Amino acid sequence: MQLKNTSLLKSKSYINGQWIAAEDNKTFSVKNPFNNSHLANVSDVSQAQISYAIACAENAMKTWKAKSATERSIILKKWHQLQIENIDDLAMILTSEQGKPLTEAKGEINYGAAYVEWFAEEAKRAYGDIIPGHQQDKRILVLKQPVGVVGTITPWNFPNAMIARKIAPALAAGCTVVIKPSEITPLSALALAELAHQAGIPRGVLNVVTSNNAEMVGDEFTTNSIIKKISFTGSTKVGKILMKKSAKNLTKLSLELGGNAPFIVFEDADLDDAVSGAIAAKFRNTGQTCICANRIFVHETIHDAFVKRFTTEVQKLKTGNGLLPETQIGPLINVKAVKKVTTIVNDALQKGAKLITGGKSGNDGKNFFDTTVITNINASMKLMKEEIFGPVAPIIKFNTDDEVLKMANTTEYGLASYFYGNNLKRVWKVAEALEYGMVGINTGMISTPVAPFGGIKESGIGREGSKYGMDDYMILKYICFGDIQ
């Protein structure tokens, strides 16, 4: 891996402003998913070291929360600036450990940095309230204060942006943080920590603990009474475990969990726009996003035309090494992911699905699965109920609005949804009827720092981004002044 700024490639945990090796120098290996080549041996810290990081964060919060919002804002803006200045190296690290194409990696860096910039400004807008008193001699006000030390657990699919999206509002609010990045992609987190150090974020305010034992870290976060807030992005199964374990301390939670996003194309949609939107919503990051289009519903009158045009565009997508400029689709994260996607596709084919293109995994030992389009889908198939997390597009035919809404909402998940159509009456009806936290209308790209990201049902609780994004890291304190004459 050739970097301009070699200081960004770290392999030790970042605790209390220092780079710390694990006890007994224990490490775990990080590999490139394109060819499984070794990238780095990263420190595998102990529970005692994680507890130490939490204690350091608690100590650092005394001075960090006391800083003015403007002071915190200036430091965050410097962190944002350094991320933009080092975008090429950050993207190189990200692609090397995660596999996504460099163009997507740079997009992720910009996206994550935008959250840091946004919350650098929101730090100065954490307004309280003055409330008319209930009695003549009473004056009532409400303050917003930082919730406390935050433990964050981030996934491998967006190893840069998920950290920025969680950490920026926490720091802006006056909280300190301990970050546990995915053991599959820790290098991006460590690079961000180095830039945070360079930006002047004080020691102990931001800590990154690297570990190959996610359960151990989760246990420490949920049982350590210093941790007042946990922010987690990952599977619904793990989210429920964290919720259950954190009940002991009534720890505040933000959970961004699984998805099963519908993508609906009505008969009055612009077909070319719908195809482009579906490509973007389905194949970003090789289909490995929680808001990917998981089920594509197309009205029966345009079904065949859509399938033809969509398949033509899918077959144009260039699969390969994410470090090559022509690559549009990278590998899946590991062989386990390939096996899961293979199982889901084979299940559909055995139950009567029709394979239009793709359908195979690579035979070269690499973690690839063909970009795939399948039709003739029915409700018994795994792909109608499970999150595919791969480059597989199932297309389902529908007839009426009520029929497609029922199919779209028949899932325990409620994260993202999409639909294409131009009838204004229908647009309002469908947008309001879809049981999801986010709805994209005539667009396949909905993520932005200015809007609240999050789901309902078993897709989680809480929101990230927008003016609402600070709320999960703050508490409301009601103050009543009496005896005012």
Q: Which residues are catalytic?
A: 256, 290
Q: Evaluate whether 344 touches 382 at the Cβ level (below 8 Å).
A: yes
Q: Evaluate whether 464 touches 453 at the Cβ level (below 8 Å).
A: yes
Q: Evaluate whether 267 touches 426 at the Cβ level (below 8 Å).
A: no
Parallel/antiparallel/unpaired status of strands 372-375 and 149-153: unpaired
What are the start-end ranges of the H helices in 318-411?
Answer: 335-350, 401-409
- Of the candidates 261, 222, 282, 264, the one whose C-alpha atom is nearest the C-alpha of residue 455 is 261
DSSP string across 49-64: HHHHHHHHHHHHHHHH
Who contacts 332 (Cβ-Cβ below 8 Å, separation ≥6)? 33, 99, 286, 288, 338, 341, 367, 368, 369, 390
Neighbours of 184 (CB within 10 A): 18
- Name the one residue in this structure whose structure tokens are 């891996």: 1
Q: Evaluate whether 343 touches 122 at the Cβ level (below 8 Å).
A: no
Q: Evaluate whether 72 touches 123 at the Cβ level (below 8 Å).
A: yes
Neighbours of 284 (CB within 10 A): 21
Q: Which two tokens stand for residue 446?
A: 């909905």
For residue 153, give the H/E element and its range. strand 149-153
**At 14, is the secondary structure helix, strand, or coil?**
strand
- Of the candidates 299, 317, 306, the one whose C-alpha atom is nearest the C-alpha of residue 407 is 299
Parallel/antiparallel/unpaired status of strands 139-146 and 129-131: antiparallel
